Amino acid sequence: MKATQFVAGFTTDPHKFLELGEKARGEGFKNIDSTMPYPVHGFEEAYGHKGSWIGLAAFGALIIGWIAGFSMQAWMMSVDYPQNVGGRPQISWPAFVPVTFECGILLAALTTLISLIIAGKLRPNPMTDVVNPRLTDDLFSIVIPFKTEEEKAKAESFLNGQSLEGVEVHDLELLDPRYIKP
Amino acid sequence: MSAVLQESPLSTDIRVPEITDAVVEPMDTRPGLLWILAFLLAQGALGIGVISVTHQLMHGIGILGINNTVGWGAYITDFVFWVGIGHAGTLISAILFLFRQKWRTAINRSAEAMTIFAVMCAGLFPLLHIGRNWYAYWLIPYPNKRDLWVNFNSPLLWDVFAVTTYATTSMVFWYVGLIPDLATVRDRVKGIRKVIFGTLSLGWKGTGSTWVHYERAYAQFAWLATPLVLSVHSIVSFDFAVSNLPGWHTTIFPPYFVAGAVFSGFGMVITLLVVARSTMKLEHLITMDHLDLCNKVILATSWIVSLAYLTEIFIAWYGGSYYERYAFLNRAIGPYWWAYWTMMTCNCVLPQLFWFRRIRRNLLIMFIISIFVNVGMWFERFNIFIISLHQDFLPANWNYYVPTFFDWATTLGSFGMFFTLFLLFCRVLPVIAIAEIKSVLPDPVGNFTGKKEAE
C-alpha cells in the first residue's frame, strides 16, 4: 500500500526547518519530504535527500555530443562529400574543434532541462492546487506521509510538540503529480 | 577583495514576504507614464527598423552602404555589438554563480533577460546580411537534394553553431531560473494569469525532493554556460582573426573580444538598471553597492580592453610587417580617425572616472558613462571591421564606406526591438530572482519573521 496523505508542519524560520528534518529522521519517520520557498543551505543533509543524477546525465550528454559533433563533421567532410583542397587533410581536426565543442554543450544543456523535468516531476498544470499559497513565499513545511491512522497520530503528536505555526493533513496529490487520482 | 564581495549587500531589515511583494508589485499595477513613454519610443524605433528591413527584403542589400571593398558594414558591427552586450548577463548568471558571488542574485534575472534579447537582435543581422534571406536555412547542415554540406572549415559556420547554442542555452538557463518564481507569482494572482503562470511554472511545488534536482541542474547550467560564453565571443572573433587581413589577423582577438564584450555588457546593465530600479521602486534590493560593483567591473574590463589596444599597436610596430604597421597607423590618422578617437575616448579615458567612489555611486554620472561605453564599443567594432577593409591590397579599390539611411534605420530598429522586449519583460515577469535573493539574505532572525502573521 502506498501512502496517499501526509501531515504537514509549518514554520517561517529556516533554522527551525532544518532542525525539524533532523529530529523527524531521529524519531524514525520514513520518506519525509519538505517544501521550501527558497533553498536553505544544508537541507539535503537535514532531510536525508540523496544526490541528484542530473550531473551524470549531463556529463554523459556532453561526451556523446562531442563524439557525435566530431563524427558528423568528419563524415560530411571526408566520407560523404570529400573535397581535395590543395591536398590538405580532409579531416582537418583543429577546424572541427569549435563546432564539436558547441554540439556537446548544446546536447548537455538540453539533457539537463529534460532530466530536471523528469527528476523533479514537473508537469505543466493550468489548474495547480496548492496546500498554502505562502509555501512559495515565506513558509516552510515538513512533509510526513502516512499509511495508517497510527502513523498519522504519531506524526501529528510529534509535530504538535514542536511549537510550529500550524499542523495540517493533506492529500499527497497536492505535492506530486504521480498521486493525482484519475 | 573576494571576502568583501561575498557579503550580501542587502539590509538585515528586509523581511522575506516584503521581497515577494516588491518584485511582484510592478506586475500587478498599471504602468507609469515613464514606462508608457519609453515603450512608445521603443515601438517607434522598432517601427522604423521594420520599414527599413521590409524595404531591404524587397530591393536587396544594394540599399546599404556596403561596397566592393567594404563588404561588411554596419550590420556586422551591429551583430558583434549585440552578441557582446549579451555576455554580461551570462557572466553574472553563470561565472559569478560559480564564484559564489552573492550580490549577483539582485541583478542576474534582468541581466539574463538582457542577454537573450541582445542575442535575438544579434541573430537578425547575419540573417539580413546574407542577401537572399529566404535561403537562411542553408546555414544549417541538413540532408538535401544538392548533396552538399556546409563548410566546417569556415569560421562563419562555427559562428552559426556558437550563436545558436548560446541563444538556446541562455534561454533554457533563464527559464529554469524562472520556474520557482513563476510559481510564486502563480500563488498570488487570480483568473487567467493564474492559468498562464500555472502552466509556465510546470506545477512547481517547491518540495525538497525537487529542489535537490533543481539545485544540481542550476549548477550544471552554470558549468556549461561558463565555457560557452567564453567560446562564443572567441568564435565571433575567429570570423576576423582566422582571415588573412592586416588588422584582423591577430592572435590577441579572442581574449580581447571577450573582455570587450563583458565591458560593453556591463555598460548596458548599468544603463538598464539605473532606470529600472528607480521606476520600479527596487532600490532596497538593487542597492547602490550592486551598481558600485558593476562599475568596478567596467573599470577593470576597460583596462583589459585598453591593454589589448596598446598590445595591438605595439605588435604592429614590433612585428615589422609593413602592411600591419600601416593598418594601425591608418586607424589613428587615416580617414576614419574620428571613429578611432571616439573609441579611445569612450573605452579607455572616460571609464577612468570610476576610480572615484563618489562617481561610482552617482546615478546620473554612471548612467552617462554607461551610454558612452556602449557608443565606444560600437565604434570599436566599426574600427576593426571597416577600417581594416576599406583600403585593401589594390589601391585602385580603396573606398570610403558611409552607412546609408537604411543601415542606421535597421540599427535603430534593433535598439527598438531590444528595449521593447526589455520593457515588456519588466511588466510581465519577476525582474529579480525572488527565490535566489531570499536564500542570500544576511540571515539574522529579522529577515524571517514574516509580517503576514498578523492576518
CATH number at residue A41: 3.30.70
Q: Which of B283, B264, B259 is CA-nearest to residue B370? A: B264
Which of A91, A119, A147 is at the close of a domain?
A119
Q: Which of B334, B379, B378, B411 is CA-nearest to residue B65? A: B411
What pLDDT is stored for residue B67 in this prediction?
87
Quote the domain boundaries for residue A64.
54-119
Q: Are the Cβ atoms of B199 and A135 closer than 8 angstroms?
A: no
Tell me, yes or no, if B162 comes closer than 8 A to chain A by beta carbon.
yes
Tell me, yes or no, if B97 comes closer than 8 A to chain A by beta carbon.
no
Summarize the confidence of residues B255-276 as an average pLDDT.
90
Residue B344's SS3 state is helix
Instruction: Scan residues 139-158 of A and list those with Cβ closer than 8 Å to B.
Output: 139, 143
Summarize the confidence of residues B48-72 as an average pLDDT.
91
* Domain assignment of residue B10, yes or no: no
Tell me, yes or no, if B1 comes closer than 8 A to chain A by beta carbon.
no
Tell me, yes or no, if A49 comes closer than 8 A to chain B by beta carbon.
yes
What pLDDT band is residue B7 in, cutting at 50, 70 and 90? low
Q: How far is B325 from chain A (nearest CA, A)?
A: 29
**Is A132 within 8 Å of A139 (Cβ atoms)?**
yes
Segment B317-368, tens digit of pLDDT: 998 888 889 889 999 998 999 999 999 999 999 999 999 999 888 889 999 9
- Burial status of residue B359 (CB atoms within 10 A of its CB: 0-12, 13-18, 19 or more): middle
Which of A102, A119, A136 is at the close of a domain?
A119
Q: Could you tell me the sign of the dihedral formed by the alpha carbons of B149, B150, B154, B157, in that order?
A: negative
Segment B359-377, tens digit of pLDDT: 888 889 999 999 999 999 9
Chain B residues touching A173 at Cβ < 8 A: none
Segment B190-201, tens digit of pLDDT: 888 888 998 998
Grid look-up 570610476 returns B354
What pLDDT is stored for residue B306 in this prediction?
93
Number of domains in chain A: 2
What pLDDT is stored for residue B3 in this prediction?
38
Q: Are the Cβ atoms of B16 and A44 closer than 8 angstroms?
A: no
Q: Are the Cβ atoms of B161 and A55 closer than 8 angstroms?
A: no
Q: How far is A35 from chain B (nearest CA, A)?
A: 4
Q: How far is B94 from chain A (nearest CA, A)?
A: 13
Segment B126-136, tens digit of pLDDT: 999 988 888 88
What does R_g of chain A's alpha carbons equal in angstroms?
25
- Whether residue A101 has pLDDT greater than 90: yes
- DSSP H helices, B93-154, are 96-98, 108-129
What does R_g of chain B's alpha carbons equal in angstroms?
23
Q: Which of A33, A38, A85 sits opposite B207 (nearest CB)?
A: A33
Q: What percent of chain B has pLDDT over 90?
A: 46
* Domain assignment of residue B4, yes or no: no
What pLDDT band is residue B453 in, cutting at 50, 70 and 90? very low
Segment A61-85, tens digit of pLDDT: 999 999 999 999 999 988 988 888 8
Instruction: Scan residues 388-407 of B and list those with Cβ closer than 8 Å to A.
Output: none
Alpha-carbon span B291 to B271, nearest angstrom: 10
What are the beta bridge partners of residue B357? none
- pTM, rounded to two decimals: 0.90
Summarize the confidence of residues B175-185 as an average pLDDT.
92
What pLDDT is stored for residue A40 in this prediction?
85
Q: How far is B153 from chain A (nearest CA, A)?
A: 5
> What's chain A's average pLDDT?
86
Segment B27-53, tens digit of pLDDT: 888 888 888 998 999 999 999 999 999
* Domain assignment of residue B433, yes or no: yes
Instruction: Scan residues 228-267 of B and list those with Cβ closer than 8 Å to A.
Output: 228, 231, 235, 238
- Whether residue B1 has pLDDT greater than 50: no
Q: Is the domain of A73 the same as that of A91?
A: yes
DSSP characters over B180-241: HHHHHHHTT--THHHHHHHHHTTT---BHHHHHHHHHHHHHHHHHHHHHHHHHHHHHHHHHH
Torsion angle, alpha carbons of B96, B101, B106, B111, to 10:
-10
Q: Are the Cβ atoms of B434 and A38 closer than 8 angstroms?
A: yes
Quote the domain boundaries for residue B263.
15-442
φ, ψ dihedrals at B104, nearest 5°:
-65, -25
Identify which has the larger pLDDT, B220 or A155.
B220
Alpha-carbon span B343 to B83, nearest angstrom: 18
* Domain assignment of residue B268, yes or no: yes
Chain B residues touching A127 at Cβ < 8 A: 195, 198
Helix (H) or strand (E) holding A142: strand A140-146
Instruction: Scan residues 112-151 of B and list those with Cβ closer than 8 Å to A.
Output: 141, 147-149
- Whether residue A159 has pLDDT greater than 80: yes
* Domain assignment of residue B8, yes or no: no
Number of domains in chain B: 1
**Is B256 within 8 Å of B231 (Cβ atoms)?**
no
What pLDDT is stored for residue B455 in this prediction?
32
Measured between alpha carbons, how far apart are the two ends of chain B, in Å?
44
Measured between alpha carbons, how far apart are the two ends of chain A, in Å?
17
And the C-alpha cell for B28?
500587478
Find the length of chain B: 455
What pLDDT is stored for residue B448 in this prediction?
54
Chain A residues touching B141 at Cβ < 8 A: 72, 76
Grid look-up 501526509 returns A6
Q: Which of A6, A112, A175 is the best mutation test for B, with the most CBs of B within 10 A?
A: A112
Chain A residues touching B212 at Cβ < 8 A: 44, 49-52
Tell me, yes or no, if A115 comes closer than 8 A to chain B by beta carbon.
yes
Q: How far is CA B111 from the centre of its chain?
A: 8
Q: Which of B220, B450, B453 sits opposite A54 (nearest CB)?
A: B220
**Is B102 within 8 Å of B77 (Cβ atoms)?**
no
CATH of the domain at B189: 1.20.1630.10
- Whether residue B450 has pLDDT greater than 50: no
Q: Could you tell me the sign of the dihedral formed by the alpha carbons of B77, B78, B79, B83, in that order?
A: positive
Which of A75, A101, A119 is at the close of a domain?
A119
Q: Which of B200, B235, B448 sits opposite A12 (nearest CB)?
A: B448
What pLDDT band is residue B445 in, cutting at 50, 70 and 90? very low
Q: Is the domain of A103 the same as that of A148?
A: no
Segment A8-52, tens digit of pLDDT: 888 888 888 888 888 888 888 888 888 888 888 888 888 888 888
What pLDDT is stored for residue A178 in this prediction?
73
What pLDDT is stored for residue A25 in this prediction?
84
* Domain assignment of residue B423, yes or no: yes
Q: Could you tell me the sign of the dihedral formed by the alpha carbons of B318, B321, B324, B330, in that order?
A: positive
